[in-house]
Structure 1
């Protein structure tokens, strides 16, 4: 799942901002023989010793001689070349070079024996060239009530998708699915040389990792996944897995508030206050105005679509701000949620943003499917039984789904290592690793998402040992919070 609910500010301020202006390290062109020509990287934030290159791949892999796009690639060579094992190739959902730069210091032990390689996916190519019409929301997202309501929302999004498609200068509109990213990954692996590679994937990069494992299992020496989703079992099923995690998040926040005099809800049942706010806002939406996103209404559904920050933040700043926003909202002032809630709804309704995942079956296929989801959700967490906001953005997708949710053949795959945080993404990651016999998921008992990008030492230590020696930790291994 995209972390709209827990990380809306990151999504809107980070991803949406990147859609307006994308920058990547300078790179060379690929040689004619398909091998990569490495040069020094340019640009800010580049790690010392990093080398950059570029490779051309088809915009549409079904037409390999057709239009091409250029992908940027970066490599941190092994620091002990005489003992080098091979390559660890990162599979990202977007800006893989930034991820490589960000995690380089924490992966220094792994780099002793491996070249570390990252690349900016075709998504970054799309973001940098996206037409303005693709940035305009196609519908006012809400929790549909009835088939007619759902059909009208889908029709609005379909019209917006069609306008975006017609304006697309890249040829990528229909080819941003994870199978296309997986084929790009294989092209890079071939250009790097060798029969097999090891892989790391975090967050939404797990969708492309599963696609790669589906297409090229014999090229996988080892695979480490961190905080990933399991698209193969379907997005509604992943959301249902996450609902108990949301409830625990509320309970955890309420316990903290009870012990923290600085919490604006201290001395009250903070969990009950939150639930009452959600119920009342659905009955009487709170008018809000955002300097960035304009005017709107704060409904209970929209509140539960953005929800409580899963990480209290430095000095509990995120939870303190959330408690203050709840306290003000119950008194009719929803300004503490305005940017977050309206920004999330605007982003998810933006066809240019959703085109990146609609090909991966990220939608309710019908109102009947949405109703089936609601029935199951009510048994797990009634206050979170509304439509999952990220699955509404792909309503009305006008093309066949390129990468439908379906079981992953696992016979040719080696056991994989997964890491998930108990506060956020362990259940999703474990559903991924459970597909592959012999695999293990290590639980990081604390907040956060994608631990290797957060510099969590214990998970990185297990990842390094596994990728180096192909030895998995014992099932049930837990890393304490750092």
Structure 2
């Protein structure tokens, strides 16, 4: 009887359907700077996933093949929204070296990148300057301005514009999974890629083997909870900046905290000019412009972006906001931060927007209460969606039961965002990095990478309370 049973089992295994083969055609990637072992391909997907048999668009993708015998695939979901995952694989290739001993690493250039040429380039590089509305009328006026600019972009290709949501990108990823013949995915998602990763988990829970979230945007919190977290993070980081200023008085001078608040209040009453430029900076502009440097100061112990900020504050106190304009201009192409339509196409479709003027006012009031140094910076992103011409197409929703445990990781700036997501999945774990930064895996932190690789390859989660620290290799 045992022999019969074993024979039957062998026969069943022999006739069971094998995993589908990789149906994609891989070849060298364009660009002399691309690594020689990086392979590129394309896949056709519907421009509108509600019409799967309709018009198609071509999605670009790439892979770093396993250097040993491949046991499967890890899918890198890029951030942004709109950052190229092909660039992640090219520029951060060495970070994947250990993982590649057993797995292929695959990524895509998502449909919300600027490189597909179906919308005018200015839709990704320009947008309205945001001034926080003080009245319901000003809120409506801002909405009319934003709607006009967004509608101009939408008119170029309405179906493509309307598909700029993380659910469409998640479905594109699943199409790639199917084309590669993979039954389940190992997902590595960074920054805004976490919205796509979590959306994938909601849409295709049975197709996830592992989900590693690294410093991700949290779509699952409501507007007020998100604002509360942003204000707390801003004040905590500014406190670290002030602590550094105490040891760098040659750069900061004395009393930086009080001086900053005085400067912001004065600029809100009388905007500060820029020498040789018609632009002026309000207190809101200063807060919004300063926040990236507060959040990400650069490598210790020099902290170049904190030094830059301290110098810009001194210059603004002397009546010239040009210090802010110089370092913001280098990153955005504008002397003031704009609300970029390209990013908003995804933010707004994913529901990261104000419900109405009342909710906006509630967030502003919360900021005045919780964030004496950065109350304005907490309202900026969602204001870019006021008056948006299409409704939310990828609303947040609860994660389904039955998901495998997740692993999250984050720095001082973003651990709380990630931890709030992974604690919703039973059995999950996090790694807290005791330092600055954003995107630990792609920034090469050996400690975090080791924990992530153990999870992605062998399903081994770190114990509760695991931490990593700068310049260490173990947690």
User: What TM-score does the superposition give when structure 1 sets the normalisation length?
Assistant: 0.86
Offset at residue 377 of structure 1 (A): 2.7
The answer to whether 1:399 aligns with 2:390 is yes
Partner residue in 2 for 1:368: 358
Which of 288, 294, 299 in structure 2 is aligned with 1:305? 288
**Separation of aligned partners in 2, 1:395 and 1:345:** 22
The answer to whether 1:414 aligns with 2:399 is no
Offset at residue 380 of structure 1 (A): 2.1
Instruction: Give me the CA root mean square deviation.
Output: 2.2
**Separation of aligned partners in 2, 1:463 and 1:64:** 35
Offset at residue 41 of structure 1 (A): 2.1
For the 8 Å contact 1:137–1:160, the answer to whether it is kept is no
**Separation of aligned partners in 1, 2:399 and 2:203:** 10
Partner residue in 1 for 2:7: none
Offset at residue 258 of structure 1 (A): 1.6
Offset at residue 216 of structure 1 (A): 0.3
**Separation of aligned partners in 1, 2:399 and 2:275:** 45
The answer to whether 1:283 aligns with 2:303 is no
Offset at residue 348 of structure 1 (A): 3.8
For the 8 Å contact 1:136–1:351, the answer to whether it is kept is yes
The answer to whether 1:228 aligns with 2:213 is no
Q: Per the alignment, in what secondary structure is the counterpart of residue 355 of structure 1? A: helix
Partner residue in 2 for 1:86: 72
Partner residue in 2 for 1:337: 324
The answer to whether 1:212 aligns with 2:195 is no
**Separation of aligned partners in 1, 2:105 and 2:184:** 14
Which of 88, 98, 119 in structure 2 is aligned with 1:99? 88
Partner residue in 1 for 2:227: 239
For the 8 Å contact 1:420–1:426, the answer to whether it is kept is yes
Q: Per the alignment, in what secondary structure is the counterpart of residue 113 of structure 2? A: helix
When residues 478 and 346 of structure 1 are mapped into structure 2, their CA distance, relative to the original with a 3 A threshold, is same
Q: Per the alignment, in what secondary structure is the counterpart of residue 95 of structure 2? A: coil
Mean Cα displacement is larger for which, 346-355 or 400-409? Answer: 346-355
When residues 345 and 59 of structure 1 are mapped into structure 2, their CA distance, relative to the original with a 3 A threshold, is farther
Partner residue in 2 for 1:115: 104
When residues 132 and 51 of structure 1 are mapped into structure 2, their CA distance, relative to the original with a 3 A threshold, is closer
**Separation of aligned partners in 1, 2:320 and 2:140:** 33
Partner residue in 2 for 1:76: 64
Q: Per the alignment, in what secondary structure is the counterpart of residue 403 of structure 2? A: coil
Partner residue in 2 for 1:17: none
Offset at residue 46 of structure 1 (A): 1.8
The answer to whether 1:438 aligns with 2:427 is yes
Q: Per the alignment, in what secondary structure is the counterpart of residue 441 of structure 1? A: strand
| Structure label with greater radius of gyration | 2
User: What are the superposed Cα offsets for residues 426-479 of structure 1, whole Å, 9 maximum, x if unpaired?
Assistant: 111111112211111111111110011111111001001111110111111110
Partner residue in 2 for 1:19: none
**Separation of aligned partners in 1, 2:101 and 2:125:** 46
Which stretches in structure 1 are left out of the alignment for 5+ residues? 1-32
Q: Per the alignment, in what secondary structure is the counterpart of residue 257 of structure 2? A: helix
Offset at residue 236 of structure 1 (A): 4.8
When residues 133 and 252 of structure 1 are mapped into structure 2, their CA distance, relative to the original with a 3 A threshold, is closer
Offset at residue 393 of structure 1 (A): 0.9
User: What are the superposed Cα offsets for residues 112-139 of structure 1, whole Å, 9 maximum, x if unpaired?
Assistant: 1111111110012666442256368564
For the 8 Å contact 2:288–2:337, the answer to whether it is kept is no
When residues 391 and 64 of structure 1 are mapped into structure 2, their CA distance, relative to the original with a 3 A threshold, is same
Q: Between Structure 1 and Structure 2, how many residues are aligned? A: 440
The answer to whether 1:467 aligns with 2:453 is no
When residues 364 and 440 of structure 1 are mapped into structure 2, their CA distance, relative to the original with a 3 A threshold, is same
Offset at residue 394 of structure 1 (A): 1.1
Q: Per the alignment, in what secondary structure is the counterpart of residue 173 of structure 2? A: helix
For the 8 Å contact 2:289–2:337, the answer to whether it is kept is no
Q: Per the alignment, in what secondary structure is the counterpart of residue 161 of structure 2? A: coil
Offset at residue 146 of structure 1 (A): 1.5
For the 8 Å contact 1:305–1:388, the answer to whether it is kept is no
Which of 44, 51, 70 in structure 2 is aligned with 1:56? 44
The answer to whether 1:252 aligns with 2:240 is yes
**Separation of aligned partners in 1, 2:230 and 2:360:** 16
Q: Per the alignment, in what secondary structure is the counterpart of residue 152 of structure 2? A: helix
Offset at residue 374 of structure 1 (A): 2.3
User: What are the superposed Cα offsets for residues 205-231 of structure 1, whole Å, 9 maximum, x if unpaired?
Assistant: 011001100100100000111010110
Offset at residue 173 of structure 1 (A): 0.6
For the 8 Å contact 1:233–1:407, the answer to whether it is kept is no
For the 8 Å contact 1:348–1:354, the answer to whether it is kept is no
Partner residue in 1 for 2:159: 171
For the 8 Å contact 1:418–1:433, the answer to whether it is kept is yes
Partner residue in 2 for 1:29: none
